[in-house]
Amino acid sequence: MKQVTTYTGKKVLVLGLAMSGASAAKLLMRLGADVTVSDLKPLAENPEAQALQAAGCKVITGEQTPDQLSAGFDLMVKNPGISYDVPIVKRALELKLPIVGEMELASEIAEAELVAVTGSNGKTTTTTMIQKMLDHDRQAGKAVYAGNIGVPASKVAQEVSADDTLVLEISSFMLTETTAFHPHIAVLTNIFSNHLDYHKTRANYVAAKMKITANQTADDYFVVNFDNPEWRELSQKSAAQVVPFSRENNSQEGSYEADGTLYFRGEAIMPASEVKVPGDHNIENALAAIAVAKLEGVSNAAIVGVLRSFGGVRHRTQYVLEAEGRQYYNDSKATDMEATEMALKGFKAPVVLLAGGLDRGYTFEKMIPAFKAHVKAIILFGETAKLLEDTAKEAGIKTIKMSENVETAVPLAYELSDPGDIILLSPANASWDQYPSFEVRGDRFIKAVEKLTGKQEEA
226: three-class secondary structure by DSSP? coil
Buried b (16+ CB within 10 A) or exposed e, 276-300: ebbbebbbbbbbbbbbbbbbbebee
What's the per-residue H, E or C state across 188-225? ECCCCCCCHHHHCCHHHHHHHHHCCCCCCCCCCEEEEE
Apex 317 CA angle, 242 and 187, nearest 5 = 15
pLDDT tens digits for range 82-132: 989 999 999 999 999 999 999 999 999 999 999 999 999 889 999 999 999
Model confidence at 200: pLDDT above 80: no
With CA atoms as reference, report the closest residue to 395 among 369, 428, 423: 369
Rounded to two decimals, what is the model's pTM? 0.83
Average pLDDT, the chain: 95
pLDDT tens digits for range 152-179: 999 999 999 999 999 999 999 999 999 9
Q: Which band of pLDDT confidence, cut at 50, 70 and 90, is reported for residue 150? A: confident
Q: Which band of pLDDT confidence, cut at 50, 70 and 90, is reported for residue 248? A: very high
- The verdict on whether residue 120 carries a ligand-binding annotation is yes
CA pair distance 434, 389, nearest whole angstrom: 18
Q: What is the pLDDT of residue 195?
A: 67
Pairing of strands 221-225, 241-246: parallel
Could you tell me which residue, 165 or 193, shows the higher pLDDT? 165
CA pair distance 285, 295, nearest whole angstrom: 16
With CA atoms as reference, report the closest residue to 137 among 299, 26, 5, 263: 299
In this structure, the chain runs to a length of 459
- The verdict on whether residue 348 carries a ligand-binding annotation is no
Pairing of strands 11-15, 75-78: parallel
- The verdict on whether residue 376 carries a ligand-binding annotation is no
Catalogue all structural domains in the chain, each as residue range(s) with its CATH number. 11-100 (3.40.50.720), 103-309 (3.40.1190.10), 318-452 (3.90.190.20)
pLDDT tens digits for range 317-362: 888 999 999 999 999 999 999 889 989 998 989 999 999 999 999 9
pLDDT tens digits for range 365-416: 999 999 999 999 999 999 999 999 999 999 999 999 999 999 999 999 999 9
328: three-class secondary structure by DSSP? strand
Could you tell me which residue, 186 or 122, shows the higher pLDDT? 186
- The verdict on whether residue 125 carries a ligand-binding annotation is yes
Query: Which residue type does 5 have?
Result: T
Q: What is the pLDDT of residue 196?
A: 66
pLDDT > 90: what percent of the chain? 90
With CA atoms as reference, report the closest residue to 428 among 393, 384, 394: 384
* Rg of the chain on CA atoms, in Å: 23
- The verdict on whether residue 325 carries a ligand-binding annotation is no
Pairing of strands 326-330, 318-323: antiparallel
Buried b (16+ CB within 10 A) or exposed e, 327-351: bbbbbbbbbbbbbbbbbbbbbeeeb
Model confidence at 296: pLDDT above 70: yes
- The verdict on whether residue 119 carries a ligand-binding annotation is yes
pLDDT tens digits for range 360-371: 999 999 999 999
With CA atoms as reference, report the closest residue to 32 among 60, 2, 52, 12: 12
Q: Partners of 114 in the beta sheet?
A: 166
360: three-class secondary structure by DSSP? coil
Q: What is the largest CA-CA distance in the chain?
A: 66
Q: Is 232 exposed, middle or buried (0-12, 13-18, 19+ CB in 10 A)?
A: middle
CA pair distance 419, 321, nearest whole angstrom: 14
Q: Which band of pLDDT confidence, cut at 50, 70 and 90, is reported for residue 49? A: very high
Q: Decide: 314 and 438 in contact? Cβ < 8 Å.
A: no
With CA atoms as reference, report the closest residue to 164 among 213, 116, 115: 115
